[in-house]
Chain A
């Protein structure tokens, strides 16, 4: 395990650096917005107010809580401190609900939906691509055009199509929400079943998009590997094809894992839109409502959380890669 230390540290440092950068971005960008954000916020909060003193006090209170009366660096420190203590401020569109509360209720829906969906889509896509490369002929000729076609669909496109076919026309699945509107979350079977049913369409939209993209890549990699010298040599030595195929896919898989790490940002982005299409109560939908309601604290918090999630996922994938590719360990030991 010693060999991994260098690799691990390397990736950890990177995670830290990008996280800092993400914080900076989340902090700086909205503050570059022209105009006085506090005035805009106050205007919204004070919509019902007619008392000008009350408005002025609200304005000053927000100034203070944002620390806008302090220098930038202090503001940033305040921001970081707030984030780490879980204080993301109060939401405007769902006033007076704290942002952290909104986040904690929607983040689990997103994680439970996207995480399995992306992984399963990746697995199925790679398997199909590998099979297409190995079986050739008929299977390949069918899978290839379908994959090309599907991979060109925008993520939300697939979501809409699935919704229309299975939700509206065939009425097999519900078209919106995370669970039935008439249900209150608890651990009853009825609730859980409703959740599962509502889970299907968003889940499969993300999976299908992921499959389309992966299948093509894996197929190319597999074809490349299947023609490699070591395949021929293993055959010369009398090793069975099954075993050889095992080698090939393990080798072809490695660049695919790296590819996953690189593209996870995009996949999450697409999956968020899919959530929105289905009004699924995850981060995507929350973000949409936040934007529509001009809820600055909420938007800022959601984008930060999404970025951090992607960064952590990226880190995890790179760690897994380090464990799987034996050459990493070998390269470290000398």
Chain B
């Protein structure tokens, strides 16, 4: 690739990097992906990586279900079982749902606000690479004596060195710290992007709901993740340096861990669901050919949910003996948070009512979200009642609840988003019939897996047990749940086949295959590097729809002549749009973190220092390099 001779001196290295950087700007080859700062490419990388972790987490789930299919089974021994459910939960939350949401933030938000990229493109790349490093670091624990085994919530003192002497928990704690940095960077980036880089005329209340939910979620991230970071530092300091934060022998209390964890953990579940709700709020209007019903209510209820999410965390701790006052106060706040959630549901129903509905795959998944999330939300309301939670806590009822909202909810909505926006970034439509097959298989599989768990919970089956005795009335439901899990796996296979077939010979999509309402549909598919040849001037909410249609007296849309997506003749204007240059420094900086982390795990402080050097080299290079040249 390089025509000049490579001479290995510092000057030579920097010159080689500059050459690579120029080559990467051409969008060709592997280096152009490694050095990319383009939000669309970063979004794709997030999406693919998250999907691979989804498969890993799914395999973990199948292993769990195989173990639990029959009483007394020994498919997985106790230690492996604990690692399996720990990695399943940690993977699905931190390595799947959050990064898939991040994929959509990256792909969609700049397009929806009429921007050419995010506020800090290199920081964006850094977020992705740090995520990748964190995920790899976490999984590498398998080669260092075993994966973490303390659950995704890592309760101390079970996770303290005295009870958990291996390296697994250290990989968990340090891995989550790395992932936390990735999320924080992303949070700052998207808040600034959304507040500062909107196209002229796009006031906040003209923004699409998905962009609003991204904004709200980003605030949740920047306020919740630091609390987790402190909890994790305290745990790591206990384990690595003999501190006493959760050491009962020196007066430490396990409640401190629980408070810090759930102060993060509850906002975290809204971080997981609000972007999904944003996707649903985009899909429904498009496939009902009606504007979102009650847009201000949907937006403000999102804000309300986020705000209130900080005030309910103790509902994870009702059974820890905090007393009736604390329990009652948080019981009330938890019930109240159902209100704005209900507001959203009714507004979505209002959007569908009287609409001209087309039952395409994105809409099916969105409808699946609504129905499954309502069920999940209702089980959440039963949890909010302190007395009923006393029976439900630590049983499979809880497992059913959160899978109902995170799988039936978030995952379904994320698939809706994948089917919806796939054509925009690839220029091809996923096969509709395979999509429908995927949906129905997944919906049935999901319900067959998790509805029995509600019954199991009410029958008293505890969580996190490697096996159970026969004769408890649990055998049949467990077997049914396992069958359901394999149905889910089959549905995912259908999806993978769909993607492969589409890549080979998929139907070409134009700029606006769904007759959409928001700005991303006004530009070509796939999207050119500069996004918009001309930054749009926004005159209303759903401005693109109004460019395409006027309303007649009965409110029916009438196409406007010459409205619609602008295509190739705009390309001439695009020749002199200057985009930020690619950079290797975000990746280099990101590589510092796992090196530092391995250093701490192995108590090799030379390695820690080496990692710090790599991190500093990356940061200084980044700071001193011009953003574009």
Decide whether A and B are members of one complex: no
Give A contacts to B, CB under 8 Å: none
Give B contacts to A, CB under 8 Å: none
